[in-house]
Chains A and B, each alone.
Chain A
């Protein structure tokens, strides 16, 4: 198809129409952002003021972050849980992925099949026994319990296994001839080669952990351990009618991910497209 002038015009018009549609699509986010800057009395004025008449941004965000509500504490909890889960999950997944793809050991296929089957079990179907287990081994109401649940997700193993399989066996063999054992080969040859894939998985795992509502809801009880999704819900019921504050909290909890996503946009989208993965 040659890029004629007429074709370019059509493309420009389509772009414009698609832009309008995307703005409508993103209106809830815009409304959230704008409302977080408003004084409470102007939140529901109609027609909607897309540019606030009276700016109250600093006051709103200060109230959320430094007020009676310990928003920074929940933020810190979320960062802690998400970072540790991501690091641990990458390590456990990469180790297993290497084991399944680069080491030929007895029973590897059967074990891989079992792990594949566990992937199909919906998380909710095992919540009750996990809850009972956690209460009995002292992992209930602990960040560690939450971290372990995320860290042993088998999804990373599948994703990374694909990439390890792409490494030529010669690399591994040459490492062995030089007298290196598998841990040496893993850390100095194989892992650096799949670094981009690990980074993609890390971003995805971080996003999923950050947004996870269900696990903290069931496995945490103490207020001081809450992660952002629980805190967000509690904040909503506490501050009842103060919608500008609620929106400031919502913006605060979404923003870091939007930044992570825009920075790692290319690898996230490619990773999702490649693995067809869904959290």
Chain B
């Protein structure tokens, strides 16, 4: 009996040998797969996944960092209903929404520059580098330079404006009416390079024969732009619009260096308000609810992008 079982077992193992071998191979693949991805996976779990869950949890707490763990009070949706009545927060959201205007502006400028550089100029490489300079430069250093340029009473920009006959030039970042616009201008200046490079890549993927066919039909430059270039660039434009919108929500460096949200909250943006609440005022729970709102905004835009991309963009 025992012998029987043994022979039976032996036979079946002989029969399934190829399968067994495949199994051990697959097991080896699994092992190596996890070995290769584990550094990244562990890093992402500890530094991103757990923190995002913690942010969501903390957004329901009233907690000041100095109180220690025992100071946590759970307040449900209390933080969020407070946010809706917090005029500083609402102003920061409003400023963020105004800031969205920069996206179509720099997209338009970048598109024009890209078309000109791609086909209508010599020394392409120089132009790419020149317009890309602000994008690779340290924002802190660039912001410091702009602060001096914008200096209201003796800065070069206002000296220039006075010399061409404008008696009362604006106070730029010192003036609550102009501060946000000033920062938006700098943001446009910085973002042009990145957008232009992406547009040039988009232009180079448009098939040449479309233009040749249009030439045969006698189309002029404007017609070619309207009927070929612009529509063929729409996936690129869409991509830039989405990344642009998301990046306006993350604006922090320029504000932190140049205005600290002032004067009179006129340049307060969501991320700066979050930073101020969390790391200056140490209201961790309340700050986490701002972070959650930011997270939801970005996720919402990303989701819309995914859905829209499936519908419109076909390649």
Interface residues of A (CB under 8 A from B): 1, 10-12, 14-15, 18, 22, 25-26, 28-29, 31-32, 44, 46-48, 91-93, 95-96, 98-100, 103-106, 108, 111, 114-115, 118, 120-133, 148-149, 151-152, 154, 157, 181-183, 186, 207, 210-211, 213-214, 217-218, 228-230, 232-233, 236, 243, 246-247, 249-250, 253-254, 257-258, 261-262, 265, 268-269, 272-274, 276, 278
A127 and B247 alpha carbons, distance in the complex (Å): 17
Whether the Cβ atoms of B34 and A105 lie closer than 8 Å is yes
Please name all residues of chain A whose beta carbon is closer than 8 Å to the beta carbon of B192 when the two chains form the complex: 25
Whether the Cβ atoms of B138 and A257 lie closer than 8 Å is yes
Using C-beta atoms within 8 Å of the partner chain, give the interface range for chain B: 35 or more
Please name all residues of chain B whose beta carbon is closer than 8 Å to the beta carbon of A213 when the two chains form the complex: 138-140, 253, 256-257
Closest to B291 in A: A125
B215-260 contacts to A, CB under 8 A, are 215, 239, 243, 246-247, 249-250, 252-253, 256-257
Closest to B33 in A: A105
- Per-residue CB contact flags for chain B residues 91-132 toward chain A (1 = under 8 Å, else 0) read 000000000000000000000000011001111011111111
- Per-residue CB contact flags for chain B residues 43-75 toward chain A (1 = under 8 Å, else 0) read 110111111101100100000000000000000
Whether the Cβ atoms of A103 and B198 lie closer than 8 Å is no
A22 and B40 alpha carbons, distance in the complex (Å): 41
A48 and B287 alpha carbons, distance in the complex (Å): 45
Whether the Cβ atoms of B243 and A278 lie closer than 8 Å is yes
Whether the Cβ atoms of A106 and B197 lie closer than 8 Å is no
With known contacts A111-B41, A269-B132, A118–B197 Cβ distance under 8 A: no
Whether the Cβ atoms of B122 and A46 lie closer than 8 Å is no
Whether the Cβ atoms of A272 and B198 lie closer than 8 Å is yes
Across the interface, A121 reaches (CB within 8 A) one of B52, B58, B145, namely B52
Whether the Cβ atoms of B127 and A18 lie closer than 8 Å is yes
Please name all residues of chain B whose beta carbon is closer than 8 Å to the beta carbon of A236 when the two chains form the complex: 144
Determine how close the nearest CB of chain B comes to the CB of A265; give it in whole angstroms: 6
A210 and B243 alpha carbons, distance in the complex (Å): 22
With known contacts A211-B139, A246-B148, A152–B284 Cβ distance under 8 A: no
The prevalent SS among residues of A at the interface is helix
Please name all residues of chain B whose beta carbon is closer than 8 Å to the beta carbon of A1 when the two chains form the complex: 211, 215
Please name all residues of chain B whose beta carbon is closer than 8 Å to the beta carbon of A211 when the two chains form the complex: 136-140
Whether the Cβ atoms of A278 and B47 lie closer than 8 Å is no
Whether the Cβ atoms of A124 and B48 lie closer than 8 Å is no
Whether the Cβ atoms of A265 and B125 lie closer than 8 Å is yes
The prevalent SS among residues of B at the interface is helix
Across the interface, B253 reaches (CB within 8 A) one of A127, A214, A218, namely A214
A100 and B166 alpha carbons, distance in the complex (Å): 61
Of B5-13, B81-89, B168-176, B292-300, the stretch lying at the interface with chain A is B292-300
Whether the Cβ atoms of B36 and A96 lie closer than 8 Å is yes
Please name all residues of chain A whose beta carbon is closer than 8 Å to the beta carbon of B180 when the two chains form the complex: none
Across the interface, B287 reaches (CB within 8 A) one of A12, A128, A230, namely A128
A149 and B30 alpha carbons, distance in the complex (Å): 27
Determine how close the nearest CB of chain A comes to the CB of B301; give it in whole angstroms: 9
Whether the Cβ atoms of B271 and A95 lie closer than 8 Å is no
Whether the Cβ atoms of B33 and A103 lie closer than 8 Å is yes
Across the interface, A127 reaches (CB within 8 A) one of B29, B41, B215, B278, namely B278
A122 and B279 alpha carbons, distance in the complex (Å): 17
With known contacts A31-B156, A115-B40, A269–B33 Cβ distance under 8 A: no
Whether the Cβ atoms of B40 and A125 lie closer than 8 Å is no
A199 and B129 alpha carbons, distance in the complex (Å): 19
Closest to B155 in A: A44
Contact of B276 with A by CB under 8 A: no
Interface centre among A26, A128, A181, A253 (most CB of B within 10 A): A128
Contact sample, A vs B, 14 pairs, CB 8 Å cutoff: A25-B189, A28-B142, A46-B156, A99-B34, A105-B32, A114-B49, A115-B44, A122-B294, A124-B275, A125-B294, A127-B279, A129-B54, A211-B138, A211-B139
Contact of B4 with A by CB under 8 A: no
Contact of B24 with A by CB under 8 A: no
